[in-house]
Amino acid sequence: MIKKLIFWSFLLLAAIQIWKTPEFQKLKDESIDKVWHLASDTAAPKQRNSAQRFAYKMKYWREDFSENEKAFINELSKNQVQFNHFVTDYCFEAKLYHPKLTQANLYVSCEKAKEVYTP
pLDDT tens-digit readout, 54-89:
888 888 888 888 999 999 999 988 888 888 889 988
Q: Please choose, from the candidates 110, 70, 107, the residue with its C-alpha nearest in 3D space to the C-alpha of residue 87.
A: 110
Domain parsing of the chain, residue ranges: 22-116
pLDDT of residue 58: 87
Residue range 31-59: mean pLDDT, rounded: 74
pTM of the model: 0.59
CB neighbours (10 Å) of residue 80? 14
Higher pLDDT, 113 or 48: 113
Asked if pLDDT for residue 96 goes beyond 50, the answer is yes
